[in-house]
Amino acid sequence: MRINIHIRVEIPFENPHMLYSATCPEDKSVPDFIKIRHHKGKDKIFYEITAVDVNNKKIWTIRNTLNDYLFAVKLVIKIWDILERF
């Protein structure tokens, strides 16, 4: 079975430019069948993954791509919190 997948993540953050810049390199290492749109708004960033004609094996790649991105976001937010204390 083959399916189409579209995932949209919105992350509110007080400094979306910093979060966008810190996580943008994650976009460059994805396979060709995954299309990523990563952009920033006034007070949030958006991360969209689109994959067309996906089989069972490719679903894990999509999951790992999203997981890597969310890990990077979590790390940046933790570092931001630590730096705000100083």
Asked if 46 and 38 count as a contact pair (C-beta separation under 8 A), the reply is yes
Determine how many CB atoms are found less than 10 A away from the CB of residue 51: 21
> Which domains does the chain show, CATH number per domain?
3-84 (3.30.310.50)
Which H/E stretch holds residue 46?
A: strand 44-54
CB 13, CB 45: distance < 8 Å: yes
Stated pTM of the model: 0.81
pLDDT (0 to 100) of residue 25: 67
pLDDT along the chain (86 residues), means of 10: 88 88 76 89 92 86 90 91 87
Contact 44, 16 (CB under 8 A): yes
At residue 10, the pLDDT reads 94
